[in-house]
Chain A
């Protein structure tokens, strides 16, 4: 079945860039998503990328997609303490979403 993998933890210093990586197995995925979950809250869509794109930029967020290697990354520029959260990668090839385990981003002052 489909599978999505992420590293579980990432720590960065405030002001540095964060890069969160994700790999997926379903080559038919048409859209890939990044969601953010803050403590005590549900998931919030951050950004998405269509599978025929290799890069998408949205303010401080840059998504890179390597479709050949089935590798997706999210770069957060000038990381702030408010960016501390769990980030989920998700793919949708069939009808339903498959989420990764989430990467917990800690931003150190």
Chain B
């Protein structure tokens, strides 16, 4: 049990659908992250939230919309996705994003398939 949970674990959606991914951490951390893991690319950082404020948007297309209502929850809202967006989406948390030693705890990921 890593203390970071993600739902759903698997999601299949059409290009016109709207869906949301949810991440919850039970570790008392203040920073949360979304990563995209594709089959043929290194792990890509998408968004960083520190104390509920977005501190990083790594040139992510607007069809991905993050939301962080509090330090324990992070959402990724999806709409009009493309097949190339199919990937494993990983959520992580850490005590804060500003410390040099900053272990990130990862959730199990949501396997997204866009048809």
Where chain A touches its partner, the secondary structure class is strand
A99 at the interface (CB under 8 A from B): yes
Where the two chains meet, the residues of A that have a C-beta atom closer than 8 Å to any C-beta of B are 4, 30-31, 33, 35, 40-45, 48, 50, 88, 92, 95-97, 99-102
Q: How far is the CA of A41 from the CA of B107 in the complex (A)?
A: 8
Q: Which of B43, B90, B104 has the most CB of A within 10 A?
A: B43
Please determine whether B106 and A43 come into contact, CB atoms closer than 8 angstroms: yes
Please determine whether B106 and A40 come into contact, CB atoms closer than 8 angstroms: no
For B107, what are the chain A residues with a Cβ–Cβ distance below 8 Å? Answer: 42
Q: How far is the CA of A31 from the CA of B103 in the complex (A)?
A: 10
Which chain B residues (32-79) contact chain A, with CB distance < 8 Å? 41-43, 45, 48, 55-56
Q: How many A-B residue pairs have CB under 8 A?
A: 54
Query: Can you name the residue of chain B whose Cβ is closest to the Cβ of A6?
Result: B42
For A41, what are the chain B residues with a Cβ–Cβ distance below 8 Å? Answer: 108-109
Q: How far is the CA of A33 from the CA of B104 in the complex (A)?
A: 10
Please determine whether B104 and A45 come into contact, CB atoms closer than 8 angstroms: yes
Please determine whether B48 and A96 come into contact, CB atoms closer than 8 angstroms: yes
Q: How far is the CA of A35 from the CA of B48 in the complex (A)?
A: 19
Given contacts A30-B100, A31-B100, A95-B97, contact A42 B2 (CB under 8 A): yes
Please determine whether A44 and B106 come into contact, CB atoms closer than 8 angstroms: yes
